[in-house]
Amino acid sequence: MTNNNIDTKFWKFIKIFNISNLNSYQILFAILMGIIGACLFLFLFPGGAISTAMHQILKLPGPGAGIGIIFGPFIILLSFLTYNFIKKYGAIFITCSVFGIIHSIFAPIVYPTIKTVGSLGPLFSRIFAVILLGLLLEICIFIFKNQKDLIRYPVSAGISNVVILSFYWFAIFPSNKGMVAINDTPILLVVTILAGVTFAGLIPLGIKRFIGKN
């Protein structure tokens, strides 16, 4: 491979982080999706609802079950829906960033007496976790752009969901909930991958195909 080919691929890769290819309406749409998504999440999952569902009903170990099964997949689903409508790189990053900022700031305010999933740890770390998720989704969508959507969406969702869970495990949970037990890691990784692939990957793909037929 020549240096010119390497340079060309590098600059094409860099473009996924450039939102200048989006017009003002597309940027506004991505921002609104992030705001609406964050508000909807706070409404659907009040206070300790996720923790109760994960540990008392499903009997899953923690910490991280709520991140891998609900929090991460919800954001990925929202981001893919945005991408389905805009169909340009940068939209996912904007939606994730706005969601991360809105949710991280307002979750502790809306539910001040209850620790909510995604609202634990330093504010910067919580926001950065979702921004990191957006960047990784953009990278995956770019890397798998030549693959069929049936591979592109689920694989991107599964990888990204594992990464945000891992970030919480190593950068956020140790300061408040503690490290995850080694014996609990396999089951949490499995359910995280399954939730990412099915809920976050296949649902937006199904919606995309349904809209395409109508």
CA 186 to CA 188: how far, in whole Å? 5
Q: What is the predicted pLDDT for the residue at 119? A: 47
**213 inside domain:** no
In the chain, the percentage of residues whose pLDDT exceeds 90 is 52
**3 inside domain:** no
CA torsion sign for 152, 154, 160, 166 is negative
pLDDT reading at 8 higher than 60:
no
Residue 15 pLDDT level (bands cut at 50, 70, 90):
low
- Three-state SS for the chain is CCHHHHHHHHHHHHHHHCHHHCCHHHHHHHHHHHHHHHHHHHHHCCCCHHHHHHHHHCCCCCCCHHHHHHHHHHHHHHHHHHHHHHCCCCHHHHHHHHHHHHHHHHHHHHCCCCCCCCCCCCHHHHHHHHHHHHHHHHHHHHHCCCCCHHHHHHHHHHHHHHHHHHHHHHHHHHHCCCCCCHHHHHHHHHHHHHHHHHHHHHHHHHHHHHHHCC
Rounded mean pLDDT of the chain? Answer: 85
Q: What is the predicted pLDDT for the residue at 123? A: 83
pLDDT in tens, 121-149: 788 888 999 999 999 999 999 899 899 98
**131 inside domain:** yes
Question: What are 191's two structure tokens?
Answer: 């359910």
**122 inside domain:** yes
pLDDT reading at 13 higher than 70:
no
How many domains, in total, are found in the chain? 1
**119 inside domain:** yes
**211 inside domain:** no
pLDDT in tens, 58-68: 888 888 999 99
pLDDT in tens, 23-53: 999 999 999 999 999 999 999 988 778 888 8
Domain of residue 31 covers 20-206
pLDDT reading at 174 higher than 90:
no
Contact assessment for residue 77 and residue 204, using Cβ atoms and an 8 Å cutoff: yes
**1 inside domain:** no
**53 inside domain:** yes
